[in-house]
């Protein structure tokens, strides 16, 4: 079993900054890709940023130059630094991780419960 816990979401003014954290724990052999997704009410869940075990990153066009994803492999934690926030960034932000379990050949994806980010105009 794997636990994925996000933190750091809050209300922030437009132009401000936030840093989200996602800690992964459980019966894990290794963690592959880690990523952040977001979902606003009535909309689909979309990729914001992802980072591989080797450090390669991918960003949605809407956040390039404003957000930065990073990971601390020793802590099994991924971060999302969000700068120059806009009202359209408001959403529930979800952490996703692809994990190899200790006693399973499969690579499985796990989701956190999400953390709310609200950007006021």
How does pLDDT run across 41-86, given as a tens digit for each residue? 999 999 999 999 999 999 999 999 999 999 999 999 999 999 999 9
Share of the chain above pLDDT 90, in %: 98
Q: How many CB atoms lie within 10 A of CB 90?
A: 20
pLDDT > 90? residue 5 = yes
Residues 101/29, Cβ–Cβ less than 8 Å: yes
What is each CA distance from 40 to 60, 83, 92, in whole angstroms?
Answer: 15, 19, 6
Is residue 55 helix, strand or coil?
coil
């Amino acid at each position: 079993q794997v636990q994925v816990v996000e933190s750091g979401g809050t209300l922030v003014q437009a132009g401000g900054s936030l840093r989200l954290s996602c800690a992964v724990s459980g019966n894990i052999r290794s963690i592959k890709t880690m990523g952040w997704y977001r979902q606003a009410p009535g909309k689909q869940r979309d990729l914001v940023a992802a980072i591989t075990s080797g450090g390669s990153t991918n960003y949605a066009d809407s956040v390039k130059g404003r957000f930065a994803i990073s990971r601390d492999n020793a802590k099994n934690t991924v971060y999302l630094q969000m700068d120059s926030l806009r009202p359209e960034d408001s959403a529930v932000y979800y952490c996703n991780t692809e994990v190899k379990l200790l006693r399973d050949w499969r690579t499985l994806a796990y989701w956190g419960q999400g953390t709310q980010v609200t950007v006021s105009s």
